[in-house]
């Protein structure tokens, strides 16, 4: 997953279509496919799906068809007709309060996203220092807190060029390690070693364990989220109607390859019962390198993965909160304290308050029974909060087509009503199923699981923005952001 479509200015018009670029600004559909792939694909989710062996193919394909495809095509139509991101789409299609809820959910999901991302960083870093630390909740909590606050310090200084770390991270921390892992995994099997997970036709589908089995698919919705960010580039294509679908189908193929092949490689090498959801990638590298006598490479790969994740965190850190700040200053949705900027023009107070909540959540890694349980729970909460935004987006798309059928759009999604229906139904189902404890939590207390997930998703995703909106005051409206040199 990557940054959602955060408004980058406060004056996006709700009536004018996005202007067409000049000839020097055109991008190819292949370039757009690469941009989309870099913003979505990651190795972080591979251990989660590797647990299910060959069934991970099905668990990735189904969300791609019912969520990734509708999201890509629908957001392309919205982005090519209305500037300003999801707030403008939802506020125009439904209402301004719902627009605030949508942009709030884009921001709020990051509060749980950072602990899960940095939990992966902590476990990966442990393999560089001491692999036994990978299962330590105290170590994980310490890394989350220290790294997050270090990121706040870097972001608050208005540092330029941080975004470049993410694009470089795709190559350094995703493509190179992914190709190495899959290649060595194939060689591992070619040497006559038996796959840790069976790879026969009867294992194509996950073992049905009741409703809890459906939870496996929920986490993959988050893997595909953020496609609306790249939809803003649809008007930079020479022929959006033909080229955008081609770009999206190519991106889907690449994303699926990056998700599925490393997950399979891990399933070949590491037995499911030994797999850590946070350290599984490093477990696989360590095991395959040991097979070739190359274990000295394990720390190097760990550093590559950590570097990419940290770069991604820094690019995420200021983006969603900046979008929330811009909308809140225009409409007065947040109190003045949260709208204050530091001398570098950065919304430091929002980052600090977010950091306090992130610290509390991070401490849960030290309190929950095991690191993998905490990682899964935070991933589900992140997904559910983000899904609220997608539900609103699908409704807004249908309403805008009905209310403004002649509004100029650079791209018109085919069968929009059907796409939105499938996307909405899939998102709603994933949201509801997220409250069901997955099969691997069968031995735990389901009530506590529902309480944690429900409290996190509904409390942060719905209750908090309702309170901000309910108690807002006219004096909360502020002037546009001042120009700050940095």
- Residue 407 in contact with residue 17, Cβ under 8 Å? yes
Range from 62-71, 123-132, 219-228, 283-292 that averages highest in pLDDT: 62-71
Tokens of residue 389, six digits = 């935004």
Greater pLDDT, 456 or 370: 456
Does the pLDDT of residue 94 top 80, yes or no? yes
Among the residues of 297-347, which ranges form H helices?
A: 298-331, 336-339
Does the pLDDT of residue 372 top 70, yes or no? no
The CA distance from 375 to 474, in Å, is: 40
Does the pLDDT of residue 164 top 80, yes or no? no
- Model confidence band, residue 170 (pLDDT cutoffs 50, 70, 90): low
**Model-wide pTM > 0.85:** no
The CA distance from 13 to 132, in Å, is: 54
- Model confidence band, residue 186 (pLDDT cutoffs 50, 70, 90): very high
Does the pLDDT of residue 450 top 80, yes or no? yes
Does the pLDDT of residue 424 top 90, yes or no? yes
Cα 289 versus chain centre, distance: 30
The CA distance from 260 to 242, in Å, is: 28
Q: For residue 2, what pLDDT is reported?
A: 41
Give the up-direction half-sphere exposure of residue 61: CA atoms within 13 A in the CB hemisphere: 9
Cβ burial of 56 (10 Å; 0-12, 13-18, 19+) is buried
Average pLDDT over residues 268-280: 78
How many helices and strands, by DSSP H and E, does the chain display?
20, 0
Q: For residue 271, what pLDDT is reported?
A: 85
Cα 58 versus chain centre, distance: 20
Does the pLDDT of residue 333 top 80, yes or no? yes
Average pLDDT over residues 242-251: 82
In 45-122, the DSSP E strands lie at none
Beta bridge partners of 474: none
User: Looking up tokens 């909060």, which residue turns up?
Assistant: 385
Q: For residue 442, what pLDDT is reported?
A: 54
Q: What are phi and psi of 441, to 5 degrees?
A: -105, 15
Q: For residue 220, what pLDDT is reported?
A: 72
Q: For residue 3, what pLDDT is reported?
A: 36
Does the pLDDT of residue 200 top 70, yes or no? yes
Closest CA to 361 of 242, 459, 484: 459
Tokens of residue 276, six digits = 């850590």
Average pLDDT over residues 333-343: 86
Greater pLDDT, 227 or 110: 110
Q: What is the mean pLDDT of the chain?
A: 79
- For the ranges 27-41, 125-139, 368-382, which has the lowest average pLDDT? 368-382
- The residues, ordered by sequence, that sit 6+ positions from 17 with a Cβ below 8 Å of its Cβ are 80, 81, 82, 407, 408, 409, 410
Does the pLDDT of residue 440 top 80, yes or no? no
CA torsion sign for 396, 381, 35, 157 is: positive
Greater pLDDT, 426 or 315: 426
Q: For residue 18, what pLDDT is reported?
A: 46
The CA distance from 135 to 413, in Å, is: 46
Q: For residue 13, what pLDDT is reported?
A: 37
Percent of the chain with pLDDT over 70: 81
The CA distance from 51 to 263, in Å, is: 8
The CA distance from 16 to 24, in Å, is: 22
Q: For residue 486, what pLDDT is reported?
A: 35
Q: For residue 8, what pLDDT is reported?
A: 35
Average pLDDT over residues 58-87: 86
The CA distance from 444 to 429, in Å, is: 23
Q: For residue 4, what pLDDT is reported?
A: 35
Q: For residue 225, what pLDDT is reported?
A: 74
Percent of the chain with pLDDT over 90: 13
Greater pLDDT, 249 or 39: 249
Q: For residue 402, what pLDDT is reported?
A: 94
Greater pLDDT, 5 or 402: 402
Q: For residue 45, what pLDDT is reported?
A: 75
**DSSP secondary structure, 275-296, as one string:** --TTTHHHHHHHHHHHHHT-GG
């Amino acid at each position: 997953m990557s940054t959602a479509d955060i408004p980058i200015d406060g004056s996006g018009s709700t009536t004018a279509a996005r202007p067409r670029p000049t000839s020097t600004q055109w991008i190819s559909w292949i370039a757009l496919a690469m941009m989309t792939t870099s913003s979505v694909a990651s190795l972080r989710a591979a251990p989660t799906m590797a647990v299910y062996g060959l069934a991970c193919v099905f668990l990735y394909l189904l969300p791609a068809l019912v969520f990734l495809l509708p999201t890509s095509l629908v957001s392309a139509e919205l982005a090519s007709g209305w500037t300003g991101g999801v707030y403008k789409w939802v506020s125009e299609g439904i209402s301004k309060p719902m627009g605030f809820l949508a942009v709030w959910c884009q921001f709020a999901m990051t509060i749980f996203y950072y602990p899960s991302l940095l939990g992966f960083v902590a476990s990966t870093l442990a393999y560089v220092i001491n692999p036994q630390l990978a299962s330590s909740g105290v170590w994980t909590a310490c890394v989350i807190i220290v790294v997050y606050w270090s990121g706040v310090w870097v972001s608050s200084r208005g540092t330029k060029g941080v975004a470049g770390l993410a694009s470089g991270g795709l190559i350094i921390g995703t493509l190179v390690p992914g190709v190495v892992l899959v290649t060595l995994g194939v060689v591992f099997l070619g040497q006559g070693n038996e796959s840790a997970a069976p790879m026969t036709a009867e294992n194509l589908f996950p073992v049905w364990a009741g409703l809890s089995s459906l939870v496996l698919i929920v986490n993959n919705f988050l893997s595909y989220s953020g496609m609306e960010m790249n939809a803003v580039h649809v008007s930079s294509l020479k022929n959006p109607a033909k080229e955008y679908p081609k770009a999206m189908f190519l991106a889907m193929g690449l994303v699926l390859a990056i998700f599925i092949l490393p997950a399979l490689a891990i399933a070949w090498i590491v037995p499911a019962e030994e797999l850590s959801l946070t350290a599984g990638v490093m477990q696989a590298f360590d095991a395959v390198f040991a097979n070739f006598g190359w274990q000295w490479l394990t720390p190097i790969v760990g550093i590559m993965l950590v570097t990419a994740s940290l770069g991604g965190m820094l690019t995420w850190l200021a983006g969603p909160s900046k979008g929330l700040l811009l909308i809140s200053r225009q409409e007065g949705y947040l109190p003045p304290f949260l709208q204050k900027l530091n001398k570098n023009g950065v919304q430091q107070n929002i980052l600090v308050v977010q950091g306090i909540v992130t610290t509390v959540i991070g401490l849960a890694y030290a309190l929950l029974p095991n690191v993998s349980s905490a990682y899964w729970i935070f991933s589900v909460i992140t997904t559910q909060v983000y899904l609220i935004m997608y539900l609103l987006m699908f409704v807004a798309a249908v309403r805008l087509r009905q209310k403004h059928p002649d509004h100029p759009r650079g791209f018109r999604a085919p069968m929009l009503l059907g796409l939105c229906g499938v996307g909405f139904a899939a998102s709603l189902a994933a949201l509801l199923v997220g409250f069901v404890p997955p099969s691997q939590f069968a031995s735990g207390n389901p009530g506590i699981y529902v309480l944690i997930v429900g409290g996190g998703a509904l409390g942060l995703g719905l209750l908090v923005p309702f309170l901000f909106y309910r108690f807002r005051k006219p004096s909360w409206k502020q002037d546009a952001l001042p120009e700050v040199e940095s």
